[in-house]
Amino acid sequence: MSLHLVIIDALNLIRRVHSAQPDPADIARTTATTCRTLQRIIDESAPTHIIAVFDHYLQDRGWRAQLLPSYKQGRKPMPTPLQEGLESIQQAWWELGIDSLLSDGDEADDLVATLACKVANHQEKATIISTDKGYCQLLSPTLQIRDYFQQRWLDSPFIEKEFGVQPSQLADFWGLTGISSSQVPGVTGIGPKAAQAILHQFTSIEEAYASDQLADKYRKKLDEQIEMARICKQVAQLKTDIELGFNLQDIRFQPLSAPKAE
């Protein structure tokens, strides 16, 4: 049987479910809804292995904020009822056969990226369940991203339509344009259309910066802000080399019980 690892971007899923609940304090309802959602994901994806990856709610903004102090500055904290209910949610997920991995020092995004790439690089199938387009930089023939809530694949045609560049160029794209939701500034004066033009002509920021073929209107901006562009690209780029401390056998999918009715 071929391997299929499904990785749940846990807080991405939980926050979206919780925000749609009529009573934010009703964590039992949030828990039950996430369980039904996960059961549908399992039924649709038929994983051989599965894991949910969580950011630690007490964790600071990590190494990215050391590089770029504005990174995710002022982001709204997790609602207290949800924070206090995370353990019960994790327990309910475990009863579905889904173990949890909690980040410690690195963001959950980097853990997800590392695990997905380790599997995909061995020509096995990995599916990331998330609405976060940052994962799209990882796309490969054996690595896919599923936006469950919009019922769509965040694939190469989606990236071409949304950003106008190749998936492998997304970190460079965000290095130029920034990421407003995370307070990543990018290069002042370079928006999406300019970034597309640069990355259609060159494969990366560094290739553009080193070339005498770069248009003058972009040359001045890059000359003045190349270090910021490099920092923003590094912040946007996911790490794929984290030591995980477990092997795939530890997360083989073995359903423990049927989902509980609400």
Question: Using one digit for the tens of pLDDT, what is the confidence trace for 11-28?
Answer: 999 999 999 999 989 999
Domain with CATH 3.40.50.1010 in the chain: 4-158+238-251
Looking at the predicted structure, is the pLDDT value of residue 188 above 80? yes
**Residue 260 binned pLDDT confidence (cut-offs 50, 70, 90):** very low
Q: What is the pLDDT of residue 127?
A: 98
CA separation for the pair 175, 202 (Å, rounded): 14
Known binding positions: 109, 176, 185, 187, 190
Topology of the domain covering 4-158+238-251: Rossmann fold (3.40.50)
Known binding positions for Mg(2+): 109
255 compared with 84, residue with greater pLDDT: 84
Domain with CATH 1.10.150.20 in the chain: 162-236
256 compared with 73, residue with greater pLDDT: 73
32-82 pLDDT, tens per residue?
A: 999 999 999 999 999 999 999 998 665 666 889 899 999 988 888 888 999
Weakest mean pLDDT among 58-67, 186-195, 201-210? 58-67
Tell me the Ramachandran region of residue 13: left when phi exceeds 0, alpha when psi lies from -120 to 50, beta otherwise.
alpha
Tell me which residue of 157, 215, 212 sits closest to 190, measured CA to CA.
Answer: 215
Pairing of β 4-9 and β 49-54? parallel
Weakest mean pLDDT among 66-75, 147-156, 183-192, 234-243? 66-75
Tell me which residue of 127, 237, 244 sits closest to 174, measured CA to CA.
Answer: 237
Task: Specify the amino acid at residue 197.
Answer: A
Known binding positions for K(+): 176, 185, 187, 190
Burial of 68 from C-beta contacts in 10 A (0-12 / 13-18 / 19+): buried
Topology of the domain covering 162-236: DNA polymerase; domain 1 (1.10.150)
Tell me which residue of 159, 194, 166, 191 sits closest to 178, measured CA to CA.
Answer: 191
Looking at the predicted structure, is the pLDDT value of residue 105 above 70? no
Q: What is the pLDDT of residue 60?
A: 64
Give the residue-averaged pLDDT of 87-92: 95
Q: What is the pLDDT of residue 77?
A: 83
157-172 pLDDT, tens per residue?
A: 999 999 999 999 999 9
